Structure 1
C-alpha cells in the first residue's frame, strides 16, 4: 500500500493524511469526455498493477449506442489501463474518502491505443517535442448554472439566486451577479483546493447564470486533465445547491454560448524562450506561421471543436462567438485573437472551441493546426482591425459539413492518426443520424397545421 501512495501528488497525500482511504476510481475520458472506468476498494487497488476495459468505450455515442467501424468486427477486446499517479486527485464530494486516478491506455501489445483522446493529445505534443518545441496552453472554461431540468421537453431556465430572483443576463464582470450563486462558487473553490487544482480567476460572463473560470498556463496534457476534472467537480458543486452546471455550447435560447478559449504559445526546449517573439521583442515569423496554420486548417477540425448539433448554435453574429477565422490584435470579434502581452508571453487565443468539446481533443486539434502552420511556413491573411461579424462566415455551419471537411483533410488525419479519425467520424455520424430522427418543437409549432 505504501509504495503506490509514495507516488501521489501533495494534494492527494494531504487529503488522505490521517484518514482511511475507502475507494479509488480508475478513470479514462471517452470520445465525449465522459469519465469511464471502474471503482474499487483502496485495498484491492493497492494489489493491482493494471486494469482492463473493452476498447468499445471509444466507439460509444453520447446517447449510449455503439458505432460500427467498417472492416472491424465488434469483439470488444480488452485494453490495458495503467495508473498515472501524477493525476491522483481527491473526489471531495463523495460520502467516503475517495481518490480518482486517470489511467494511460495501451493495447495488449503495449502500444498506446490510438483512439484514446488523451493519447491523441500526447501524440500531438510529441510532434512538437520532436522539433525541439514545448507547446504551452492556457484554457478558459465557460459554463452555465441552470435551474434543475428534469423534463428534457422543457426549456432550460437560469437558476434562482439568493435574492429569490432568477439570474439575470447582460451582467458581464458583475461581482453582484456572481454573489447570487456564491455558495456554488464557494464549493467549486473548496473542491478545487482539495484536488490540488489551481484557479486563475472566476468571473460572471454575459449570459444569465453564465460563469467563466480561467486556468493558468502550462503543459497541454496536464491542463486537459484539469479541465476533465473541473467539469466533474463543477457539476457536483452545483448539485449540492439544487441546480445544474451545464457545459452545453448553447443551453438557453437568446443567450450567448459557452466556449473553451485556448491560449497558445510555444517555447524553445533548449533556450526556454517563447518562439513567437524575436530577441528585440517583436513578433517572429513563427508567430505568424502559427496563426496561418490555425486559419488554414481549423475548418477541417471544427468537428472536434464543435462536436454536436447544439455546438453550431454558438456561431451567431454579435453573440460573443466567432463566425470566421479572421485574426486581430486585442479584437474579441475575431476567431483568432492576439491578446495584449509582454513579448515573453506573446500568444494566440483560439476562440472557436466550444465548452462541449472533449478537452483532450479540442486542445489536440488546435495544437495540430498550429503545428502544421509552423511546418508549412505560410503567412496568415492580413490582420483584421474592424468588427469581424461584418465579415464572411468561413467555418462549417453544421455537423454534416464539418465531418465532410474532417474526412477529406489528409494532412490533419495523418498527424491525429487515421484510426482515431475513422472511429471519431463513425461515432459522430451515428449521433447525427439519431438526431435527425427527432422531431423538434419548432417543427410541430410551425409545420403541423400550416404546411
Structure 2
C-alpha cells in the first residue's frame, strides 16, 4: 500500500491553528472549492450534501446548483436530533440528544470532499455539524479528530486504510422468498460457486466496477485492488493508504459510490456483516501505522529485523481495550452472526504475524512499511468510530508501554473469546460501563450511542421471527 493522498486537501492541523489563512467556515473549506467545482461541471444542477450519523449512514439533503456557494459561505441548518435516531431513523428519546440538543445546528462542508458522481449526474460533498464554532459533541467524526489531535500532540501522525468486503445482491427476492447474489452485469449469468479470487468472475462484473472506478476518479477517491471474496457475490475493494482521518472519509464516500452505482445496474450493494448465515461475513479491516513529522514510519522494523517496540505497545493497548469497543466494532444484531464461525472473523484479542485467524495481524510487508491490521470490525460499523477506538487503544498502549505477549501461531484459541462480550446485549452492557469508551466517545456521544443501541436491541427482542414459527409454532 502506498501512502499518497488522492484528494487535494490542506493539512487539517494547519487549518485548525494557522492565523494566516482566511477561512469561510469553521470546518476549513474554502469558497474556492465550490467555485472550481461549478466551473469544472457546468451542467451539474444538484449536489448531495451528506452528514454521517452514528451508524455510518448518510443523512442530508440534495441542494440545487445555485445553493452551493451559500453552503460554503453560510453553512446549512440540519436537526441535531439526527444523532439521536436509530438505524431506521426513529427518535430515541433516551439518547439525550433528541430533546436537549434536537434543534437545528449549522453544518459546514468538509475540505476536499466535494466531487462529482457521474452515474447520478449530481455532485456530492460531506458536511459536519457545529454548535457555534465548536464541533457538535454527538457527531462521530469529531470523536476521531480528538484522537488524532492526541496523537499529533505526542508527535505521531496516524496513517491508515480500510478494506471493504460486501455483497452484490439481486434487487428482487427469488422464488423462495429470499435474496440471492446478483447476476453478473456483463453476461446475466449467476455463479453457483464461490470462485474465490477468480479473475474471470471480476470480468463478468466489470461494467459495474468500471463505473465505480470512474466515479471514484471524480470524487478524488483512490480505489485499488479488487478481488472476488470467499462467497458467491462477495467482493473486496481496498482503498489507498493515507492519513487516518481521510481514510475514514474515504469509506463513507466509497460505500455510497458502490451502493449508488449498483442500483443503476439493477442490483443492490449489501454492507450487512452477515447477509447469508452459511456464507462468509463481510469485514472492514483497518490497517494502521504511525509516522513522524517527516512522514517516516515509526512502526518500521528495527535494524536487527525485529518488530518495532512502539508497534508492539500499540497492539498491546488494543488488546487491553478491545472488549470495551465491541459495540463499536459490531454495532448491530446481525454483526454478531459474523462471529458464529471464527474462520477469518476473529472476535478475540489475539495478535499474530501473518496469521488471518487473529484479531490483530501483522502482515508480511516490507520492513519499512510495517503496520498492523485490525480485523474485528464488520463492514456495517462506522469507520470514524472504528478508527477512533483503535487509535485510542494504541495510544494508551504506547503511553503505558504495555506488552502484547507472545503472538498466536496456528488456528484461533479455543478460549479466544473468553474475555470478550459474547452477544450484542453483553456488548451494550459492557460499553455502558466502560470508562475507556466514555472517555473516547465523550459523555454526550457515549450516552446517546449506548441508548440507541439498547433501544434497537429491545425492539428486535420482541419481534417473533419466521424461524421461530417454523421451529416452535405448531410443535411445542
Q: TM-score, normalised by structure 1?
A: 0.92
CA separation of 1:229/1:120 partners in 2, compared to 1, >3 Å: closer, same or farther? same
Q: 1:420: which partner in 2?
A: 445
Query: For residue 434 of structure 1, what is the aligned residue in structure 2?
Result: 459
Q: Is the 8 A contact 2:109 2:125 kept in 1?
A: yes
Distance in 1, matches of 2:262 and 2:98, equals 41
Check the 8 A contact 2:84/2:97 in 1, yes or no: no
3-state SS, counterpart of residue 344 of structure 1: helix
1:348 is displaced (CA, Å) by 0.9
C-alpha distance in 2, partners of 1:160/1:40?
34
1:322-353 Cα shifts (integer Å, max 9, x gaps): 13221110011111111012222111101000
The number of residues matched between the two structures is 442
2:193 and 2:244 mapped to 1: Cα distance? 32
1:24 maps to 47
The residue aligned with 1:304 is: 328
Q: Provide the C-alpha distance between the structure 1 equivalents of 2:197 and 2:98, rounded to a whole number of angstroms.
A: 52
Q: Pick from 86, 95, 118: which aligns with 1:92?
A: 118
Within the candidate set 161, 176, 183, 1:138 is matched to 161
Question: Are 2:373 and 1:368 equivalent residues in the alignment?
Answer: no
Deviating runs (4+, > 4 A) in structure 1? 70-73
CA shift for structure 1 position 270: 5.4
Cα RMSD for the two superposed structures: 2.3
Q: Which residue of 1 aligns with 2:210?
A: 186
1:185-212 CA deviation, whole Å, 9 max, x = no partner? Answer: 1111111122221112111101111000
Q: Residue 125 in 1 paired to residue 151 in 2?
A: no
Bigger mean CA offset, 203-212 vs 389-398: 389-398
- Using the TM superposition, name which of 381-390 and 277-286 deviates more: 277-286
Q: What SS class does the counterpart of residue 179 from structure 2 fall into?
A: coil
Whether contact under 8 Å (1:282, 1:343) holds in the other structure is no
The residue that corresponds to 1:212 in the other structure is 236
Do the aligned partners of 2:119 and 2:211 also contact (CA within 8 Å) in 1?
Answer: no
Q: Structure 2 matches for 1:160-171, cutoff 5 A? A: 160-161=183-184, 162-171=186-195
Change (3 A) 1:270 1:82: same
Picking from 70, 84, 87, the partner of 1:62 is 87
Q: Tell me the equivalent position of 1:77.
A: 103
* TM-score of the aligned structures, taking structure 2 as reference length: 0.87
Give the structure 2 partner of residue 387 of structure 1. Answer: 411
- Whether 2:182 is the aligned partner of 1:156: answer no
Aligned counterpart for 2:362 among listed residues 333, 338, 342:
338
- Quote the offset at 1:19 in angstroms: 2.1
Q: Give the CA deviation at 1:254.
A: 0.8
Superposition deviation, residue 115 in structure 1: 1.2
Unaligned runs of 5+ in 1: none
Equivalent pair of 1:290/1:371 in contact (CA under 8 Å): yes
1:164 and 1:21, CA in 2 relative to 1: closer, same or farther beyond 3 A?
Answer: closer
1: CA distance, partners of 2:228 / 2:469: 36
CA contact (8 A) 2:80 2:98 kept: no
Cα 1:164–1:72, aligned 2, differ >3 Å: closer, same or farther? Answer: closer
Change (3 A) 1:227 1:70: closer
Shift of 1:180: 2.7
- Aligned with 1:33 (options 46, 56, 59): 56
SS in 2 for 1:31: coil
CA, structure 1 residues 130+432, in 2 after alignment: closer, same or farther (shift >3 Å)? same
1:72 offset after TM fit, Å? 6.4
Q: 2:267 pairs with 236, 240, 243, which one?
A: 243
Q: 2:255 aligns with which of 210, 213, 231?
A: 231
1:446 & 1:35 partners in 2: Cα distance?
38
